[in-house]
């Protein structure tokens, strides 16, 4: 087994190095999508106007204040080097992909051919190559920290460490807040939950505190109340396709007004249900379920959201990994290709945000990718794998007064 694991680790190292080199080449030779130019605008505004004024004048600045500090650092590096801003903006996500592979391999070491194959697919994942290497946003950084928080809990380390990782994820984007029920319910003791919550609050709260105290409504409006694009994914796409059918307009209005509540409520219900009926499932598994629920039911969408599922499906095995990466990767490729309007890509206007409705084949690929994620949600909910680390902790723990010796 040790020899097998060593061979798989060597293969993973080679694959990760190849993917890293390819992503760095893409980042160095392309502009990316409109998101990169938007980040450049944010950086200029933060530098010239300050953080709070940027939130005032630019409603698209929907990222936590911590990212304003990061933008200042990226801008400073950009001015002092020959490499352009688009490269430096994408570098954190590219490096985060390497960290993500290491974290997932720590949670699911390649002790079998199935695990090794799944990790190899993660190392070469087409969605990450396009989103981290080309698109130009912070989603993979956010997911990597969230993944680290779940794995820390699964490995039985101190909840405060998981809280710090989770707080860093929230510093990148507010989206991982949907994992709060899953992570809290994965911690056995109330003391551990409190420790996790305090560590999270301090890590995510301290960088934002001066700005939240100064203008809380402004920060909440931009960061929390931001709406994604409606009708570009999943059931809202189907509503658009069948908009002439009776009741479609009413269903669309309901999804616009109550879609967010449906997503958040469903995630809470699923997390509570798993805690009750699948208490031996891992934090990693529960976080995967939460993100699968989100992407199944979300009324709003951006193509970079497909990075959110990448690490978690490793728990489902290589078949599910190949399906998710294949369908998502093909959909992403066609969106970027249609937006770039040239090959090789240099700049893709809005990363496909102008809409791909004029391209029926892209719409079909979008729906196929959505159905694949729906299927992954069914797998996450239907199966109840054990967390071996947690099981060992329970076996090693001394009996309580209410337990038989």
Model pLDDT for residues 25-66, shown as the tens digit of each residue: 999 999 999 999 999 999 999 999 999 999 999 988 999 999
- Smallest Cα–Cα separation from 310: which of 330, 329, 294? 329
Q: How many domains does the chain have?
A: 1
User: Does residue 396 sit within a domain?
Assistant: no
344: helix, strand or coil: coil
User: Does residue 46 sit within a domain?
Assistant: yes
Kindly indicate the confidence band of residue 405, based on its pLDDT and cuts at 50, 70 and 90. very low
Whether the ω angle into residue 344 lies within 30 degrees of 0, i.e. cis, is: yes
**Percent of the chain, pLDDT > 70?**
93
User: Does residue 401 sit within a domain?
Assistant: no
CA distance 288 to 285: 5
Q: Is the pLDDT of residue 113 over 70?
A: yes
Pairs from 155-159 (Cβ < 8 Å, separation ≥ 24): 155/106, 155/107, 155/389, 156/389, 156/390, 156/392, 156/393, 158/195, 159/187, 159/192, 159/193, 159/195, 159/196, 159/199
Query: Can you give the pTM of this predicted structure?
Result: 0.93
User: Does residue 393 sit within a domain?
Assistant: no
Q: Write down the pLDDT at residue 1.
A: 58
Torsion angles phi and psi, residue 54, rounded to 5 = -65, -45
pLDDT tens-digit map of 86-95: 999 999 999 9
User: Does residue 404 sit within a domain?
Assistant: no
User: Does residue 302 sit within a domain?
Assistant: yes
CA distance 319 to 306: 18
User: Does residue 233 sit within a domain?
Assistant: yes
Of 79-83, 165-169, 173-177, 282-286, the range with the lowest mean pLDDT is 79-83
Residue 123's domain spans which residues? Answer: 2-388
230: helix, strand or coil: strand
- Smallest Cα–Cα separation from 278: which of 183, 179, 385, 393? 385
Contacts of 195 (CB under 8 A, 6+ apart): 158, 159, 160, 163
pLDDT tens-digit map of 286-319: 999 999 999 999 999 999 999 999 999 999 999 9
93-102, 209-218, 272-281, range with greatest mean pLDDT = 93-102
pLDDT tens-digit map of 342-391: 889 999 986 444 567 788 999 999 999 999 999 999 999 998 776 655 44
Contacts of 46 (CB under 8 A, 6+ apart): 54, 68, 71, 72, 75
User: Does residue 204 sit within a domain?
Assistant: yes
């Amino acid at each position: 087994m040790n020899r097998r694991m060593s061979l798989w680790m060597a293969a993973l190292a080679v694959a990760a190095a190849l993917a890293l080199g390819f992503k760095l080449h893409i980042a160095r030779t392309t502009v990316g999508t409109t998101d990169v130019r938007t980040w450049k605008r944010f950086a200029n505004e933060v530098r010239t106007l300050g953080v709070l004024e940027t939130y005032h004048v630019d409603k698209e600045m929907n990222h936590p204040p911590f990212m304003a500090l990061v933008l200042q650092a990226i801008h400073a590096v950009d001015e002092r080097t020959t490499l352009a801003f688009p490269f430096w903006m994408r570098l954190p996500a590219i490096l985060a992909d390497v960290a993500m592979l290491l974290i997932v391999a720590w949670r699911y070491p390649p002790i079998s051919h199935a695990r090794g194959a799944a990790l190899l697919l993660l190392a070469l994942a087409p969605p990450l190559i396009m989103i981290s290497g080309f698109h130009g946003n912070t989603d993979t950084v956010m997911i990597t920290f969230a993944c680290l928080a779940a794995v820390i809990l699964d490995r039985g380390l101190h909840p405060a460490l998981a809280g710090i990782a989770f707080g860093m994820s929230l510093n990148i984007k507010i989206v991982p807040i949907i994992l709060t029920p899953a992570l809290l319910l994965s911690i056995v003791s109330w003391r551990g939950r409190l420790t996790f919550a305090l560590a999270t609050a301090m890590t995510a709260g301290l960088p934002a505190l001066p700005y939240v105290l100064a203008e809380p409504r402004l920060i909440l409006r931009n960061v929390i109340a931001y709406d994604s694009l409606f009708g570009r994914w999943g059931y809202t796409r189907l509503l658009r396709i069948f908009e002439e059918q009776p009741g479609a307009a009413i269903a669309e209005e309901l999804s616009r007004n109550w879609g967010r509540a449906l997503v958040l409520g469903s995630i809470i219900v699923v997390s509570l249900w798993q805690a009750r009926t699948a208490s031996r499932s891992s934090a990693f598994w529960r976080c995967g379920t939460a993100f699968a629920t989100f992407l199944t039911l979300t009324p709003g969408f951006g193509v970079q959201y497909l990075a959110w599922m990448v690490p978690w499906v490793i728990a489902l095995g290589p078949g599910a990994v190949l399906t998710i990466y294949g369908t998502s990767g093909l959909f992403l490729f066609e969106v970027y290709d249609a937006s770039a309007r040239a090959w090789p890509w240099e700049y893709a206007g809005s990363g496909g945000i102008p809409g791909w409705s004029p391209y029926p084949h892209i719409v079909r690929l979008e729906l196929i990718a959505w159905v694949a994620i729906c299927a992954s949600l069914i797998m996450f909910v239907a199966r109840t794998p054990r967390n071996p680390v947690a099981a060992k902790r329970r076996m090693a723990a001394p009996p309580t007064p209410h337990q038989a010796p």
